[in-house]
């Protein structure tokens, strides 16, 4: 299983870590986000011990989010290590033998300032997570990507369960205020992300 060597601070209470997966020829990104005095891990790959210490400094690691059927990654390992719940869309429960699961529906506030947003038509169980702190951050699963040769765009149709439905679902993200967008696959957009998404959806 891949292990990332270090975390990168994106904004106060917001970290990423990454690992290049040669099998898919792309970086896998994970996110840590502070909610009050607790930290939640989104689509976590295993960070090195030093990186875990960074994530756990001052804030207890309190929960995990799995954003779709492809992102089980190290969720089970963290859930057992820290005895914390895994939040995921209920459609994933039959297929994923994960411990300590707590399903979330569209619009559920599962931690202070963190909201699950279901995206229909992407990979099964696709959710985004909105964090309202510090100008707002939208944390994506696979529905939006930001890496070459594609750039910032929608997930290619061949990876979607229903690409047209996903396109119709994505505008709900604009109901939220956010300056940043983080990805499971791709470089973070650290400012102006909501405007970038508006522009993308006008032409996509």
Question: CATH number for the domain including 12?
Answer: 3.60.15.10
Please state, in angstroms and rounded to a whole number, the distance separating the CA atoms of residues 20 and 7.
Answer: 14
Question: Residue 195: how many CA atoms within 13 Å on its side-chain side?
Answer: 4
Please state, in angstroms and rounded to a whole number, the distance separating the CA atoms of residues 86 and 145.
Answer: 23
Residue 3 tokens read as 């292990």
Whether the CB-CB separation of 172 and 130 falls below 8 Å is answered with: no
Question: Residue 77: how many CA atoms within 13 Å on its side-chain side?
Answer: 12
Q: What was the pLDDT predicted at 5?
A: 61
Burial (CB < 10 A; 0-12, 13-18, 19+), residue 158, is: exposed
Give pLDDT tens digits for 40-76.
999 999 865 556 666 666 688 999 999 999 999 999 9
More confident residue, 21 or 10: 10
Whether the CB-CB separation of 104 and 148 falls below 8 Å is answered with: no
Please state, in angstroms and rounded to a whole number, the distance separating the CA atoms of residues 111 and 9.
Answer: 21
Q: Tell me how many domains the chain contains.
A: 1
Q: What was the pLDDT predicted at 164?
A: 98
Give pLDDT tens digits for 171-194.
999 999 999 999 999 999 999 999
Q: What was the pLDDT predicted at 100?
A: 94
Give pLDDT tens digits for 109-161.
999 999 999 999 999 999 999 999 999 999 999 999 998 888 999 999 999 99
Please state, in angstroms and rounded to a whole number, the distance separating the CA atoms of residues 120 and 149.
Answer: 25
Tell me which residue range forms the domain holding 105. Answer: 3-203
Q: 19 pLDDT exceeds 90?
A: no
Q: 23 pLDDT exceeds 90?
A: no
19 alpha-carbon distance from chain centroid = 15
**DSSP letters spanning 21-85:** ETTTTEEEEEEEEEETTEEEEESPPEEPHHHHHHHHSSSEEEEEE--STT--TTHHHHHHHHT--
Residue linked to tokens 């956010």 = 178
Q: What was the pLDDT predicted at 125?
A: 98
Give pLDDT tens digits for 121-130.
999 999 999 9
Q: What is the mean pLDDT of residues 24-41?
A: 89
Q: What was the pLDDT predicted at 36?
A: 86
Q: What was the pLDDT predicted at 92?
A: 97
Q: What was the pLDDT predicted at 59?
A: 81
Confidence grade of residue 2 (pLDDT, cut at 50, 70, 90): low
């Amino acid at each position: 299983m891949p292990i990332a060597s270090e975390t990168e601070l994106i904004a106060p209470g917001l970290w990423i870590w990454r690992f290049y997966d040669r099998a898919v020829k792309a970086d896998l990104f994970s996110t840590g986000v502070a909610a009050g005095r607790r930290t939640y891990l989104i689509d976590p790959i295993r960070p090195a011990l030093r990186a875990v210490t960074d994530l756990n400094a001052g804030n207890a690691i309190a929960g995990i989010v799995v954003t779709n059927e492809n992102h089980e990654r190290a969720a089970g390992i963290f859930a057992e290590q820290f005895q914390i719940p895994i939040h995921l869309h209920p459609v994933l429960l039959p297929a994923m033998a994960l411990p300590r699961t707590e399903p979330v529906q569209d619009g559920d506030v599962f931690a202070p300032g963190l909201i699950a947003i279901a995206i229909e038509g992407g990979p099964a169980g696709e959710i985004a997570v909105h964090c309202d702190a510090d100008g707002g951050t939208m944390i994506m699963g696979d529905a939006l990507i930001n890496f070459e040769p594609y750039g910032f765009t929608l997930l290619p149709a061949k990876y979607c369960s229903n690409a047209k439905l996903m396109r119709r679902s994505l505008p709900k993200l604009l109901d939220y205020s956010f300056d940043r967008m983080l990805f499971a696959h791709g470089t973070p957009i650290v400012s102006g992300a909501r405007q970038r998404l508006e522009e993308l959806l006008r032409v996509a």
